[in-house]
Amino acid sequence: MYNHKEYIKKWRKKNYAKIIKQSAEYYQNNKEHLLKKMKEYSLRKPWVKICLSISGRCSHNGIYYKKGIRNLLTIDDLEYLWKRDRANSMKRPSIHRFNSKKDYVVDNCEIIEWGKHLKINAKNLGHPINQYTVEGKFIKRFDSISAARAVGGGESTIREALFNKKKWGIRKGYRWKLAVEVKK
């Protein structure tokens, strides 16, 4: 008996390289149109962007995958949170979990301003940090990011320096590094 789903599956596997090539060509030929459509869609349904971001964090390559944190929110759940928390009136909405050790579920999440989210995380992160010159000479040890903000700018600036992909982060003319490594 003919099974169309199996046929399509085999055809895609056999023609994978051709499909990728054609997709790339289509994107290049229609880039402006596609970007315009994506922008229009994200303006109509901005919570989808948050959903994609969460899914990326919880995927096999994401930072939460090894911790066992899952995304159990649907797009409809995020739309509900978006409207409940009035995210349309926010400059830069961000998803926040009340309990960072639990999954993304409606009861554990809210949408808040990105700056407020950074402050919550910085206060929860009471690890000491060290300040260095750009050359790497030790200057001072601070009890927390909050204590260092008078010297190095805002908490978010120092957090970006600490937690970017590079081992050392330079912000406001100083290098910042955790004095105690955070368990991952």
For the domain that residue 154 is a member of, what is the CATH number?
Answer: 1.10.10
Residue 184 lies in a domain: no
DSSP state of 184: -
* Domain C-terminal end among 79, 98, 122: 122
Kindly state whether residue 100 falls inside one of the protein's structural domains: yes
Per-residue model confidence (pLDDT) at position 162 = 65
68 & 35 share domain: no
Q: Which among 103, 122, 141 is the end of a domain?
A: 122
What pLDDT does residue 165 have?
A: 46
Report pLDDT for 46: 92
**103 within domain boundaries:** yes
Q: Are residues 29 and 60 in the same domain?
A: no
Q: In what order do the strands lie in the sheet with 169-171?
A: 138-142, 129-132, 174-178, 169-171
How far is 104 from 110, CA to CA, in rounded Å?
10
Q: What own/partner pairs with CB < 8 Å and gap ≥ 24 does 104-113 have?
A: 104/54, 104/58, 104/69, 104/70, 104/71, 104/72, 104/73, 105/72, 105/73, 106/73, 106/77, 106/80, 106/81, 109/73, 109/81, 110/81, 110/85, 111/50, 111/81, 111/82, 111/85, 111/87, 112/85
| Structural domains of the chain, count | 3
- 């407020």: which residue's tokens? 116
Give the pLDDT of residue 90: 92
Domain boundary among 75, 90, 122: 122
The predicted structure's pLDDT at residue 77: 95
For residues 171 and 107, state if they share a domain.
no
Q: What is the pLDDT along the chain (184 residues), one digit of tens a residue?
A: 789 999 999 999 999 999 999 999 999 999 999 999 989 988 899 999 899 889 888 888 777 888 899 999 999 999 999 999 999 999 989 999 988 889 999 999 999 988 787 767 655 556 777 888 888 898 888 877 666 666 756 666 666 666 654 445 666 777 777 775 544 4
pLDDT at 133: 87
Q: State the pLDDT at residue 21.
A: 95
Q: Is residue 52 part of a domain?
A: yes
Question: Does 183 map to a domain?
Answer: no
Same domain, 94 and 117: yes
Statement to judge: residues 88 and 74 lie in one domain: yes
Query: What is the residue range of 131's domain?
Result: 125-178
Q: Using the CB atoms, write b or e for 44-56: b if 16+ within 10 Å.
A: eeebeebbeebee
pTM of the model: 0.55
